[in-house]
A and B are shown apart, each in its own frame.
Chain A
Amino acid sequence: MKSNFRTRDKTIAEQVSSMRCKYPHFSTDFTSQSSMKVIGVLQPTSRSGTYKFVLKYSLANRPETKIVSPVLLKNDKGEEIPHLYSNENLCLYHPLYYEFNRTYLLCDTIIPWASLWLYYYEVWHLTGSWLGGGEHP
C-alpha cells in the first residue's frame, strides 16, 4: 500500500490535507473539486524578511506560485529578477525533467523550493549573483 501511495497521482484532498498537516499556519482550501489554493508566509532564513505567497494548483495545470508581498524588486543595478515567469510566477523546477508531477505532494516540493527560491533571491540582492543554479532556456 505504501509504495502504491508514493507512485500514484495524488488527489486534491490528499494535497490539501498534507499541506494542512505540515504547514498548519498556511490557509489551505479547495477552490473546486479538482483545484486548491494555499496562502501563507515563508521565511527562507532566520534573519530573512517574511514573504506572503499564493499557490494555486489544479489537476489540469502546473502549480503556480506567486509572491504577493512584499513586491519583488529588481536589484540595484536594475537587472531583471532571475527565474521568474513574465506573469511573476516563480520558476521553481524544470518542466521537462519530471521534477514535479501529480504524484508529488506540494508540501514536500513546491513549498521548500519556494523557500529556497526566496533564499537565492535575497542572496542575489546581496551579492549580485544567483547562486542557486538552474537554467534559463
Chain B
Amino acid sequence: MISIENKAMQIDDLLDKMAEAVQLGDTRYDRMKTSYESVKDWIENDTIYFKPYNYDVYPHGSVRILTTVKPFRKDEFDLDIAIHLKSNTPHTPQRIYSELKRCMEAYAKKHGLKIEAKNRCIRLEYAGDFHMDILPGIQDSAFDQNKMKVPDRELGDWVSSNPRGYSNWFIDKANLVKESLLEKSMRAEKLPTDNFKHKKPLQRAVQLIKRYRDIYFQNDDTYKTSSIILTTIAGQYYQGEDSIFDTVNNIITTIRTHVNQPISRLKILNPVNAAEDFTDKWDDEPEYYEAFKKFASHLYNEWQKLKMQHGVLNEGVILKGLFGNDIFTKAQTSQSMLIEELRKSKSVAAARNTGIISSISSFGAAAVKSNTFFGEYEK
C-alpha cells in the first residue's frame, strides 16, 4: 500500500509531511538541547543556593509534548524549562526568584547572553535563535508530584502551576489512539519501526492548527489566539481519531458547535487546574473571542471543501492557503519522490479499471515496465 492508493491515507500522508516541515528542525533542536544541558549543569553546581536542595529540572511546553512549530517569519522559538524544588523549602517566593536570577545572571554574563526578568520566569535570549524561559517552583504537596507553587512578582505571592501535569494530560490524550492510519500503512509495508519518527494524529493536528494560526494572523496579530488555548482545545475535543484529517475535522466541528451556542462564550479551562481559565481575557477584551471565532470558522469552511474531494489540484490550492506555499510544496515533493523511488525500483503498478498508481505488493500485480518520458524539441 502506498499513500496515494487510499483517499484517507493520501491526504494524511501529505498533512503529516507538512507538519514535519513546520516543526522545529533537528539542528536547532540540538542547539537548544545543548543549551538546556548547560543551564541545568550550571544550576546544579550553584553552591550558593541550589546545590543542597533536591529538585528536578525539566522542559515543558511544546518541546515536551512534541507539538513544536517553527517560528513564522522572525519570531524566536521559546523553550520552557521548570526548576522544580521538591522539598518544602522555607523560602519566600521573592527569595527563590532572586536566587535564580542571581544564578542565571552569572551564567548569562559568562556566555554573553541577554537576560530578562519576566513576571514568573527568567528569560535567557539566544539572539535570533530562541529564548529559554526558566520557571522556578516548589512542589505544592507530597501527594501530587507535578503541582508547583511558583513566584509571581506582580502579586508578590505564590501561584499554582502544573506544567508537567499538563504535559502528561496532553500526551495521554494523544495516546488515545493505539495505532494511527499512517502507522497501520507503515506496518503493512513492513517498514522498520525504529526509523519511525511519526507523531500521533493529535500532535500533528496541533502543529498544523498552530501553523495555520500563524498564517491567518500574519498581517494583524493583535488578537492572535495563543498556542496554549489551541493546544488545550485540541486535547479536550480529541476523541482518539486515527487520522490527522479526522482529528482536525472533529476539533473544528466541536469548536463550531460550542461557539454557536448563544448564551455563554466558550471557556477553555486548564485541564490540570480547573480554577484557571485560559480564556479569561476573552471577557475583558471580547475582540480576542471574535478573532478566534472567525479564525475557527475559516478553518472549518476550508476543511469542508477538502471533504468534497474536488481533485488534488483544488486541494493543493486550499492547503497552500491554509499552511503556506513552501510547506505544501515541500510535502508534496517529498511524497512524489517516494513514488519516484518505487518506480525506479520497479515496485509500481496501476490498478485495474482506474489506473490508480499503487505498489505491486497491494494486489500482486506486475510492476510497471520502465519508461522515459520524452518530448519534442523545446519550443
Contacts and interface: CB of A to CB of B under 8 A. Distances in A.
Interface of A: 22-25, 41-49, 80, 82-86, 91-95, 97, 99-100, 104, 108-109, 111-117, 119-120, 122-123, 125-137
B348 A46 contact: no
Given A46-B10, A86-B376, A132-B340, A109 B333 contact: no
Contacts, number: 156
A112 B368 contact: yes
A131 B336 contact: yes
B220 interface: no
Interface stretch (B64-72, B197-205, B308-316): B308-316
Contacts of A91: 373-376
Contacts of B82: none
Given A47-B7, A49-B311, A49-B313, 9 more contacts: A22-B352, A23-B353, A45-B5, A83-B374, A112-B355, A117-B373, A127-B333, A131-B337, A133-B372
A10 to B, nearest CB: 14
A129 to B, nearest CB: 7
B106 interface: no
Given A108-B369, A131-B336, A45 B10 contact: yes
Nearest to B310: A49
Given A122-B312, A126-B313, A126-B329, A97 B375 contact: no
Contact of B313 (A25, A113, A122): A122
A128 B10 contact: no
Contacts of B333: 123, 127, 129, 131
Interface residues of B, number: 43
29 contacts: A23-B355, A42-B354, A46-B10, A83-B375, A86-B376, A86-B379, A93-B373, A97-B372, A99-B371, A99-B372, A108-B366, A112-B350, A114-B355, A115-B350, A115-B357, A116-B348, A116-B368, A117-B373, A120-B336, A123-B333, A126-B312, A126-B329, A126-B332, A127-B329, A127-B332, A129-B333, A132-B343, A135-B375, A137-B377
A11 B11 CA distance: 42
A116 B10 CA distance: 16
A1 B81 CA distance: 74
The CB with the most chain A CB atoms within 10 A, among B329, B343, B366, B369, is that of B369
B356 A116 contact: no
A22 B5 CA distance: 18
B375 A45 contact: no
Contacts of B312: 45, 47-49, 122, 126
A24 B323 CA distance: 41
A48 B3 CA distance: 13
The CB with the most chain A CB atoms within 10 A, among B4, B355, B369, is that of B355
A123 B7 contact: no
B371 A109 contact: yes
Contacts of A111: 350, 355
Contact of A104 (B343, B357, B369): B369
Nearest to A25: B353
B6 interface: yes
B378 interface: yes
B339 interface: yes
Interface in B337-352: 337, 339-340, 343, 348-350, 352
Contacts of A119: 4, 336, 339, 357
Given A108-B369, A112-B368, A126 B316 contact: yes
Contact of A80 (B11, B316, B379): B379
B10 A82 contact: no
Nearest to A118: B355
B195 interface: no
Interface string B1-38: 00011110011000000000000000000000000000
Contacts of B261: none
Contacts of A114: 355
B316 A45 contact: no
Given A43-B356, A108-B366, A92 B371 contact: yes
A137 B354 contact: no
Interface in B29-84: none
Closest 5 CB pairs of A and B: A134-B373, A112-B350, A49-B311, A115-B355, A45-B4
Contact of B374 (A45, A95, A128, A130): A95
B257 interface: no
Contacts of A22: 352
Nearest to A124: B336
A81 to B, nearest CB: 10
B90 to A, nearest CB: 63
Contacts of B377: 136-137
